[in-house]
Amino acid sequence: MKILVPVKRVVDYNIKPRVKADGSGVDTTGVKMSMNPFDEIAVEEAVRLREKGAASEVVVVSVGVQKAQDTLRTAMAMGADRAILVLSEESPEPLAVAKVLRKLVEKEEPGLVILGKQAIDDDMNATGQMLAGLLGWGQGTFASKVEIADGHARVSREIDGGTEEVSLTLPAIITADLRLNEPRYASLPNIMKAKKKPLETIEAAELGVDMKPRLSVVSVAEPPERKAGIKVGSVGELVEKLRNEAKVI
């Protein structure tokens, strides 16, 4: 079984994003970019499934600018076998990405697609669900455990009240949540080896996908600054402040 893992290049999670002066988005000039952290978890899970013998090949794909090939090389240094870069503008919308992925699924015929549950730049949490809808496949989103057996994926999903177990007939879509695993670091020898692994580049237009944006950004602003908290001396003082200052009781 082949596993397809879509990985997105996003602003590194350690960086405090700066809003552009005109409020049209986040300024990415000169900012460190990395693989979306949930996608690292997705890559790790796919590589572990191959190591366990449940899969034979892990193919990573990114839809974005030329620089996204660095992200694909990182995924291959973690253990993915080969990569596909679909060239488009920076940060395409989830629907466009899902349509590109559908085309690649038709071409590559994977048994499983493991995505991140969300990309930390836009926090859309939509691509995996849209892809499942376009393909008519079952989906196990927010996965914290995955087991493959007898043509099925058994997925534990993180839900508000705890966890839910679902059994998906393969082929299927899974999106990775934080507790699924702890991704490995790419070792230097593996980073060197990854440079020689195959990376195919395709133009989005070649796939016949309409990448036209359907969403427009009205404005992007910094969240209001939070005032520092205080420590109260007693329960009585807390109740007094909740009643008279915060006026919530």
Position 110 contacts ligand AMP (CB under 6 A): no
SS3 state of residue 194: helix
Query: Among 61, 151, 72, which residue's Cα sits nearest to residue 114?
Result: 61
CB of 155 to ligand AMP, least distance (A): 16
Q: How far apart are CA 181 and CA 44, in angstroms?
A: 7
For residues 27 and 122, which CB has a smaller minimum distance to ligand AMP in the complex? 122
Position 74 contacts ligand AMP (CB under 6 A): no
Q: What x/- string results for residues 152 through 191 when contact with ligand AMP is judged by CB under 6 A?
A: ----------------------------------------
Residue among 19, 87, 124, 166 that touches ligand AMP (CB under 6 A): 124
**CB 26, CB 47: distance < 8 Å:** no
Residue among 3, 40, 72, 116 that touches ligand AMP (CB under 6 A): 116
SS3 state of residue 76: helix
User: To which H or E segment does residue 24 belong?
Assistant: none
CB of 196 to ligand AMP, least distance (A): 23
Longest dimension (CA), the chain: 68
Position 12 contacts ligand AMP (CB under 6 A): no
For residues 64 and 138, which CB has a smaller minimum distance to ligand AMP in the complex? 64
Q: How far apart are CA 11 and CA 233, in angstroms?
A: 41
CB of 118 to ligand AMP, least distance (A): 4
**CB 6, CB 96: distance < 8 Å:** no
For residues 115 and 186, which CB has a smaller minimum distance to ligand AMP in the complex? 115
Instruction: Give one word for 2, left, alpha or beta, with left for phi > 0 and alpha for psi -120 to 50.
Output: beta
Binding site for ligand AMP (CB under 6 A): 6-8, 36, 38-39, 42, 62-64, 92, 94, 97, 115-116, 118-119, 122, 124-128
